[in-house]
Structure 1
Amino acid sequence: MTQDDRLQQVLSAIDDKNQQDPNTVEHQGQSVAKEWLYGQRMSQCLASFQPDASEILQIACRAQHIQRWAIARRDYPMDRPGYKRWRTELAKFHATLTAELMADCGYSEDEQERAKSLLQKKQLKRDSEAQTLEDIACLVFLTYHLEDFAAQHSDEKIVDIIRKTWNKMSEDGHAAALKLPLSDAMGSLVGQALNG
C-alpha cells in the first residue's frame, strides 16, 4: 500500500465513524451527519491554510471531532471544571479511536502516538503542528459556527468567546481569520473583541 493509499484509507475510516452521528445538519439542501461535515470542513480549511501539511496533521484535522457525540456534555457537571473534564476526556477518546484506525491502516506506533499528541494538543504553543490544528479549529468555528452561536448568546458573551478564540491562535491564524468573509454583524463583533 502506498503512503497516499493508506492516508485515503484512514480518512475514509474516520468519515465512516463520523457518518454514524445521530445529529444531522442541513448542508447544500441535504441532511448530513454533523461531525462528518465538521471533518470535511476541517480538511478543506487545512488544505487552504497549509497545503503542504504532513500526513499525520491531515489525519488529526479530519479526526478532531471523531464520534464526538459518544461522550455527552450533559453527563458532566455544568460548570467550568465539568467542562474542562469533558473536553479532556473527549480529546483522549478522539486520540485513542484515531490511533486504532491508523493501526488498521498500517501506521506505525510512533505515527499513532504523534496523532494522539496532536489531538490532545499536549504541546500547544511549542508544537507548530498542534498550533496549526488549533488554528484550523478556530477558523472553522469563526467561519461556520460563530453566527449560530451569536443567535443564542448576548453580544457581550460572543465578544468574550471571540477574544478567547483569538488568544488560542497563532499570528498566521490571525491573518487568515481577518480575511474570512464574515457577515457585517459578525465582523463588527470581531472588531469589538480585538479593539476592546
Structure 2
Amino acid sequence: MAEFHDVLFPAAVSFGATGGPERRVEIVQMTSGREQRNARLRHSRRHYDAGTGVRSLSDLYEIMDFFEARRGSLHGFRFRDPFDMKSCRPDATIAARDQRIGTGDGVARVFQLAKTYGVGEDAYVRPIRKVLTSSVRVAVAGAELAPNRFAVDAATGLVTLMQAPVEGAAVTAGFEFHVPVRFDTERIAISLTAFKAGQIPSIPLIEVSA
C-alpha cells in the first residue's frame, strides 16, 4: 500500500536538479477560429529531473539506495526544490511577514501556510504542507510571535496559534518548505561507462498531493 515516507531526497543531488511547475490547460479550437481554454487542475504540479544533479558514483549509489527503499514509484517523499524552497526569494532571509496566511476574526486559531505568486486578483495562492517546522516564523498585525506562542504541523503546514487574533488582524508567516514527490519511473538505468563519459541517467520526479 502506498504511503508517504517523511524522508528527504539526497540534498546534494537535488541542488543540481532541473524542473519546475506544470499547468495543465485543455485547449479547444472553435469553428470561429477562437480558442476555448480551461484549466484541468486547480493547482500547478511540479516535475523535476534529479539526474542533472548527479556528480559522482557516490551520488548514484545513494540514489539507488533511496529508490529501492521507496520501492520505486510506490512511496512519496520530501524533495528540496533548488529554485523555490522559501516563503521569500531563494537569496533572501526568511521573515515573519513574508506571506499573508489569514485574517483574524477573534475565533479562528488555525491557519494554513501558503505562498502567493503574483499580485491582485490574478495572484495564485499555493498551499504549503511539507514545511520545516524549525524555520517557521509567525506574526500577527506585524508583531512577531515567540516560538512558544504557536505550533506547526510538519505534515500539513497548519499553524495553530495559542490565542485567536483579533478581528481584522493580518496573520503572516515566513518558512522553508519541501515538495512532496515520488519517482516518476519504474526503473533507473545506470551505466558506469556512460557515466564516466559524461552521460547522466534521467531520474524523473513528480509532485504528489500527500
How high is the TM-score relative to the length of structure 1?
A: 0.32
Q: Which has the higher helix share?
A: 1
Q: Which has the higher strand share?
A: 2
Structure with greater Cα Rg: 2
How high is the TM-score relative to the length of structure 2?
A: 0.30
